[in-house]
Amino acid sequence: MRRKLIAGNWKMNGDQDLVRRVAEHAADSGGGAEMAVCPPFPLLAAAASQLPFGVALGAQDVSEYEAGAYTGEVSAGMLLEAGCRYVIVGHSERRTLYGEDNGRVAGKFVAARGAGLTPILCVGETLAERDAERTEVVVGEQLDAIMDAVDGPAFQGAVIAYEPVWAIGTGRTATPDQAQAVHAFIRQRVAERDGSEVADQLRLLYGGSMKAENAAELLAQPDIDGGLIGGASLDPESFLSIYNAAAEG
């Protein structure tokens, strides 16, 4: 059985007050599923000290390097020391706005794993790619880049988030069938290279306008093991509702 994971990606939002309110609401989360919160770097310390036991902390990005003259970067070791268990790697906003290609994303994935963090690898196609029926090609290449960079089963113990770019922050969600089809493809692709045991245990999150109103039907799909929540994670009540949908489902 894969334990569902609901992770909040705050992006460049939030402040000390949001940390406090989310921590308060998280105290009402009953277990059953796992909750994680990924605030911006300067809020990690406050979140680490205020989130209730059992709520995991994650970061939104990581350097592919261990240490050195990389102004503005944060290493995986630093994130671990700050209390992080997870780190988002290859979010589409990093790929499109900051030019992160599959090679750089693979470097970050390897660095995160090497330090003992659990990477949440984001994959997903643009609307043009979906319309051209290239979803599986694009997502397949994003997965292969990671599996090519790692000796042995790359996704053992990792998390993958399928986030169709056209659904992120747009209010337009993939239908449960559309999401399930890509999730099944991802699990199959991982099984081919990493083996079926790794693929069966791998948690696959859906991301892209997941909210309290649509969470339950997405989470009911057999290959959807949780959500990576952007906008709705900034409202502690909505975030808790989504979590409860996962915990009860």
Residues labelled catalytic:
91, 163
For residue 199, state whether it binds ligand PGA (rule: CB under 6 A): no
Residues from 51 through 90 that contact ligand PGA (CB under 6 A)? none
Q: Which is nearer to ligand PGA, 62 or 232 (CB)?
A: 232
Which one among 169, 175, 192, 220 touches ligand PGA, defined by CB under 6 A? 169
Span near ligand PGA by CB under 6 A; candidates 16-24, 104-112, 133-141, 226-234:
226-234
Q: Which of residues 3-32 bind ligand PGA (CB under 6 A)?
A: 9
Phi, psi of 247 (to 5 degrees): -70, -35
Residue with smaller CB distance to ligand PGA, 143 or 232: 232
Q: For residue 198, what are the contacts with CB-CB under 8 A and spacing of at least 6?
A: 153, 155, 156, 190, 191
Tell whether residue 229 is a contact of ligand PGA (CB under 6 A). Answer: yes
Contact string (CB under 6 A) for ligand PGA, positions 121-160, x = contact? ----------------------------------------
Residues constituting the chain: 249
209 lines the binding site for ligand PGA (CB under 6 A)? yes
User: Quick one: how far is CA 126 from the chain centroid?
Assistant: 18
Q: Which residues contact 133 (CB under 8 A, 6 or more apart)?
A: none
d(CA 142, CA 148) in angstroms, rounded, equals 10
Q: Which is nearer to ligand PGA, 150 or 182 (CB)?
A: 182
**Residue 109: C-alpha distances to residues 28, 132, 167, 203, 231 (Å):** 32, 28, 24, 16, 24
Report which of 128, 122, 206, 132 is spatially closest to residue 166, judged by C-alpha positions: 128
Q: 163 vs 194, which CB is nearer to ligand PGA?
A: 163
The answer to whether 183 touches 204, Cβ cutoff 8 Å, is yes
CA gyration radius, the chain: 17
207 burial (CB, 10 Å; 0-12 / 13-18 / 19+) is buried
- Give the total of residues touching ligand PGA (CB under 6 A): 13
Segment 170 to 189, residues that bind ligand PGA, using CB under 6 A: none
Which residue number places its CB atom closest to ligand PGA? 230
Least separation in angstroms between CB 205 and ligand PGA? 9
5: helix, coil or strand? strand
Q: Which one of 163, 194, 223, 235 is in contact with ligand PGA (CB under 6 A)?
A: 163
Q: By CB under 6 A, tell whether 115 contacts ligand PGA.
A: no
User: 135 or 238: whose CB is closer to ligand PGA?
Assistant: 238
Where does this chain bind ligand PGA (CB under 6 A)?
Answer: 9, 163, 168-169, 207-210, 228-232
